[in-house]
């Protein structure tokens, strides 16, 4: 399978490393022989029909921040993703550029172009899905290509697959989840140490759990993206992030936390979809499985007749999320084989 990686951040690099180091297992267990024929980053693009040497690419990126150690035959500074997607023969495009939630670009154009060129798409970027998921599902269908996005929700934790593959014959009435590890870390810290929001946030930033501009996380927007993707995929809704009523955690005080604790509850940033879709701080009973600490994500599917089913795992991480990308690739390979 010939693959183009669009975006060469931590998830893409982990994925490249995994398919390189596990090449023989992938071939033996799943009949997959991945060949990376294109890598695009913010500076330029590397392409090679014979396959790009992964170790050199990773080393070059680490040492210089660019891919130029791959050599002038392979690397072209300034070459853009759309050109690579159009020009390089490949079966699968992996879109892993940073999420942008106003227009979804440049990811949205990458995904659309790849589909129109007949490439299967694995998308790790939440932006295009939060804004235009129904249209993209339609476009994939129209072009007869697979569109997978397991890594957009739950990192390596198979949230979407659990609901889709393991709950057949059940109806899912509602979904309630802690979908952002940064917020959960901050709220857990405020609870366990009695500190104020700003101090917990500063600690999260120090540990690399929160970005310098934490708005996407603490404003609830990242959770809302994941809620939209989960709802559309699992419940068959046609939501965009604009349909979600969003309240982040920036207004949460020590007193809110204490008041929840007095009732044997924990204050959590919850994404909920049932009769409506919202993200907001909510009190969760301390004994409920959703009450997970630290950076954990958790999601509860309220089903009939199997009852409440909760999945808990790390919601982020390069290698973890790369495992979702690999799962998507295995799934595409299986669909081929049918």
CB of 123 to a copy of itself, least distance (A): 17
Nearer of residues 224 and 292 to a copy of itself, judged by Cβ: 292
Nearer of residues 15 and 272 to a copy of itself, judged by Cβ: 15
Q: Give contact residues for a copy of itself (rule: CB under 8 A).
A: 14, 18, 26, 30, 155-158, 161-162, 165-170, 287, 289, 292-294, 296, 298, 303, 305-314, 317, 319-320, 322-324, 326-327, 329-331, 338
CB of 160 to a copy of itself, least distance (A): 9
Contacts of 142 (CB under 8 A, 6+ apart): none
CB of 179 to a copy of itself, least distance (A): 15
Nearer of residues 11 and 241 to a copy of itself, judged by Cβ: 11
CB of 83 to a copy of itself, least distance (A): 31
Closest CA to 18 of 328, 338, 336: 328
Nearer of residues 22 and 143 to a copy of itself, judged by Cβ: 22
Task: Report the catalytic residues.
Answer: 226
């Amino acid at each position: 399978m010939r693959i183009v990686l669009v975006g060469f951040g931590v998830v893409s690099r982990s994925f490249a490393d995994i398919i390189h180091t596990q090449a023989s297992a992938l071939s033996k267990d799943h009949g997959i022989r991945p060949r990376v024929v294109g890598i695009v980053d913010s500076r330029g693009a590397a392409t090679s029909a014979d396959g790009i040497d992964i170790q050199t690419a990773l080393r070059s990126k680490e040492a210089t921040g660019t891919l130029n150690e791959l050599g002038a035959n392979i690397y072209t500074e300034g070459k853009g993703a759309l050109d690579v997607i159009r020009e390089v023969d490949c079966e699968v495009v992996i879109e892993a550029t940073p999420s942008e939630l106003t227009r979804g670009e440049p990811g949205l154009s990458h995904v659309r172009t790849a589909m129109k060129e007949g490439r299967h798409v694995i998308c790790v970027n939440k932006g295009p899905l939060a804004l235009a998921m129904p249209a993209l599902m339609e476009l994939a269908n129209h072009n007869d290509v697979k569109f997978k996005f397991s890594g957009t929700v739950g990192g390596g934790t198979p949230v979407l697959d659990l609901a889709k593959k393991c709950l057949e014959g059940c109806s899912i009435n509602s979904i309630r989840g802690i979908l952002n590890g940064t917020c959960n870390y901050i709220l857990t810290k405020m609870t366990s140490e009695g500190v104020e929001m700003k101090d917990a946030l500063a600690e999260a930033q120090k540990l690399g759990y929160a970005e310098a501009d934490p708005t996407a996380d603490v404003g609830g927007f990242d959770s809302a993206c994941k809620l939209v993707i989960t709802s559309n995929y699992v419940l068959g809704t046609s939501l965009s992030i604009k349909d979600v009523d969003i309240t982040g955690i920036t207004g949460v005080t020590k007193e809110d936390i204490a008041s929840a604790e007095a009732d044997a509850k924990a204050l959590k940033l919850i994404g909920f979809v049932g009769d409506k879709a919202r993200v907001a701080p909510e009190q969760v009973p301390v004994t409920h499985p959703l009450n997970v600490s630290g950076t954990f994500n958790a999601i509860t599917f309220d089903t009939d007749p199997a009852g409440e089913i909760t999945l808990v795992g790390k919601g982020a991480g390069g290698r973890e999320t790369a495992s979702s990308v690999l799962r998507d690739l295995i799934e595409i390979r299986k669909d081929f084989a049918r």
